[in-house]
Structure 1
Amino acid sequence: MSVVRRALPRDAEEVLRLRQIMIDSMFASDPSVAWHGESLPTLRAKLGEPDGDFTAFVVDHPERPGALACLVAGTIDYRIGKSGDPQGMVGFVFSVATDPDARRRGYARACMTTLLGVVPRARCPAGTAHRLAGGGAAVRLARFPPQARPFAGARALSA
């Protein structure tokens, strides 16, 4: 059985490693990890804010002490309200990643279930999530509409 826990500042390097796995699987981008060093202080600070608008849940890797097997991370953002969502609170799950040698064990589903349990629908009734190939179960569990390209078709407007 997996034990899901909130990611802590000491997990920051592993969180970035799993995020890089997700990024590499989604985008034909620069595989460099040089940016990790610059990102670590901010990530550590965010992971140290248990009541902040950013949260991440993880599962420790069962075969590699000190490593993580899975990560689910997201934010709650304010958008100007609208009909059906006058408070304008929107959840966005932007990282769902499982170490390649720890897949198909239900870790992402367990992390997503935990994330949804701590972000009450009353605080954040709407949400979106990026979906990865082979990683749709956790997104479907969240009942978020999958957003492969959330800003596709968006155009810049000039004043």
Structure 2
Amino acid sequence: MIDARLAAPADAPELIRLRKVMIDSMGDDPAPSGEWERTGVAILQKQLAAADGTLAAFVVDRPDGPGLAACVVGAVDQRLPNPRDPTGLRGYVYNVATDPAYRRRGYSRACMTALIGWFRAHRIRAVDLRASRDGEPLYADLGFRRTNDPAMRLRLDLN
């Protein structure tokens, strides 16, 4: 059995490293390194240290040395309630990543299973994510289903 553990603030640099691995695997060109990584580490260190129950990350340590083999990050968002969701609490999964050297060993599944348990313990009734083609079979096996709601996004120019 693979043990996924709750991430600590000290794991933030590795979580961001794996985030870049994930981003790179979804695009044609590698993502440039830069300020976004330092900002991400600072944000994760702060959020992982908070005891407010709005963010959690689960990780699997590399079996052969220091660092992380896989991770997932999940957040809780307070939305307005509706008849099917009287609390309005919504979970969101992001940053599911496995280092290429450790893929196909069940590490992402272990992280996702731990995160789903965390959402369940926090009484979250609905959990959303955006699936890559590679990740979709895992998510479907864990019970995620496509929704009828098309995703849309507006990017605002802040200059």
Say yes or no: TM over 0.5: yes
Change beyond 3 A, Cα 1:131–1:51 = same
Give the whole-Å Cα distance in 2 for the aligned partners of 1:36 and 1:90.
26
Segment drifting more, 77-86 vs 130-139: 130-139
| CA displacement at 1:82 relative to structure 2 | 1.2
Q: Which residue of 2 aligns with 1:58?
A: 59
Change beyond 3 A, Cα 1:146–1:129 = farther
What is the 5 A alignment of 1:109-148? 109-120=109-120, 123-146=123-146
Which letter does structure 2 place at the counterpart of 1:43?
L
Larger RCO (CA under 8 A, 6+ residues apart): 2
Give the whole-Å Cα distance in 1 for the aligned partners of 2:150 and 2:25.
17
CA contact (8 A) 1:14 1:67 kept: yes
Q: Percent identity of the aligned residues?
A: 39
Change beyond 3 A, Cα 1:94–1:67 = same
Aligned Cα RMSD in Å?
2.5
| CA displacement at 1:131 relative to structure 2 | 1.2
Q: Which residue of 1 aligns with 2:99?
A: 99
Q: Which residue of 1 aligns with 2:75?
A: 75
Give the whole-Å Cα distance in 2 for the aligned partners of 1:49 and 1:136.
31
| CA displacement at 1:43 relative to structure 2 | 1.0
User: TM-score with structure 2 length normalisation?
Assistant: 0.83
Runs of at least 4 residues of structure 1 off by over 3 A?
27-30
CA contact (8 A) 1:129 1:146 kept: no
Which letter does structure 2 place at the counterpart of 1:101?
A
1:36-70 Cα shifts (integer Å, max 9, x gaps): 1122222111112254211100000112x221000
Change beyond 3 A, Cα 1:105–1:140 = same
1:70-111 Cα shifts (integer Å, max 9, x gaps): 001111111111121121111110111100010000111111
Give the whole-Å Cα distance in 1 for the aligned partners of 2:119 and 2:46.
20
Which structure 1 residue ranges, 5 or more long, are not aligned? none
